[in-house]
Amino acid sequence: MCTVCGCSEGEVRVEPGSGHDHKPQHAHHHEHHHQHSRSHSHEHSHDHHYGLGPARAHAPGLEQSRMVQIEQDILGKNDQYARANRARLTGQGIFALNLVSSPGSGKTTLLTSTLTALREQIPLAVIEGDQQTSQDADRIRATGVNAIQVNTGKGCHLDAHMVGHALDSLTPERGSILFIENVGNLVCPAAFDLGEAHKVAILSITEGEDKPIKYPDMFAAADLLLLNKIDLLPHLNFDVARCIEYARQVNPALQVIQVSATSGEGMEQWYQWLRLNRQNRLIGHATDVSAEARRA
């Protein structure tokens, strides 16, 4: 991260919208520390460019060996941004979910089905995280829901700082449900709080029932597990009960809903979960609810 503005380093891009461009404002010099080459495209003024690397801080002073106690959390900065995001989202009655899964779990299909089913009833918005391309955001926008793509470049997860900037550009409506689709990865996103209300893990039954104990951190961090592609059960050798048992070994409080985005099975339960938890968030936001009632 850049020590001047706190921006994350790397090839992160948030598209489109906000004219937030950090690069020219930096008086200090950024250097590369990685073996891989990084190409930064600067043609598009609407892209977010994060510093190319940590600033070189030179501290003149005594050249005398000494011990320094630091005692700081390595993710302290991320957690600080996450707290700011959470305060902002809570303040606006926005119910934010961080969707995490392996690549290929059917996360985007599940999300597009959800958006299509709920868009007439509830204001919705999506932050779409991928390493490259805006294909998923394009799929989301095809449903008519406002979406912003964040490309993490070489990064394997979204962090709270990227989400903060994405929120600046996306400006979700008060009282909306914000879906943050994380990079497909069952390991790294577990450690990074984005300021969401809940992490929702999506696991498809084509993946193997022991995933919850193979990747325990993610299932420990999640509050809800969507067991997806349940329509394929007759064709697979997947033990649903065993999978749920494993998941609850890691996280006894984990809620589980079995769904199929393709056949629609179980989806109503998931929508019900969304409606109930969003309503819960809206307590104290009476004006938003009445505005919605007027619209309906």
Partner 1 sequence: MHEMSLCESVLQIVEEEATRQRFSRVKWLQLEIGVLAGVEVEAMRFCFDVVARNSLLQEAELDIVQPGGEAWCMQCAQTVAIAARYTPCPHCGSYQLQVTGGDQMRIKELEVE
Residues lying near partner 1 in the complex (CB under 8 A): 1, 3, 9, 31, 33-35, 54-78, 154-157, 159, 187-188, 190-192, 212-213, 216-217, 220, 246, 248-250, 252
Comparison of 248 and 275: residue with beta carbon closer to partner 1: 248
CB of 82 or CB of 115, closer to partner 1: 82
Question: Residue 236 Cβ, how far from partner 1 at the closest point, in Å?
Answer: 23
127 contacts: CB under 8 Å, gap ≥ 6: 147, 148, 150, 158, 163, 166, 167, 170, 178, 179, 180, 181
217 CA to centre of own chain: 16
Residue 74 Cβ vs partner 1, minimum distance, rounded to whole Å: 4
CB of 189 to partner 1, least distance (A): 8
Least distance between partner 1 and beta carbon 35 (Å)? 6
Q: Considering the complex, what minimum distance in angstroms separates the CB of residue 264 from partner 1?
A: 32
3-state secondary structure 199-257: EEEEEECCCCCCHHHHCHHHHHHCCEEEEECHHHHHHCCCCHHHHHHHHHHHCCCCEEE
CB 55 within 8 A of CB 4: yes
Between 78 and 260, CB nearer to partner 1: 78
Q: How far is the CB of 80 from partner 1 (least distance, A)?
A: 11
Residue 83, phi then psi, degrees to nearest 5: -65, -40
Nearer to partner 1, 24 or 252 (CB): 252
Provide the token pair at 268.
């109503």
Q: What number of residues does the chain have?
A: 296
Q: Which is nearer to partner 1, 45 or 64 (CB)?
A: 64
Q: Which is nearer to partner 1, 77 or 285 (CB)?
A: 77
The 3-state DSSP class for residue 146 equals strand
Q: Please, which residue, 83 or 154, has the CB nearer to partner 1?
A: 154
Q: Which of 195, 151, 162 is nearest to 6 (CA)?
A: 162
Shortest gap between Cβ of 181 and partner 1 (angstroms)?
18
Please choose, from the candidates 206, 219, 205, the residue with its C-alpha nearest in 3D space to the C-alpha of residue 248.
219
- Say how far apart CA 30 and CA 26 lie, in whole Å: 9
Residue appearing with tokens 């390595």: 74
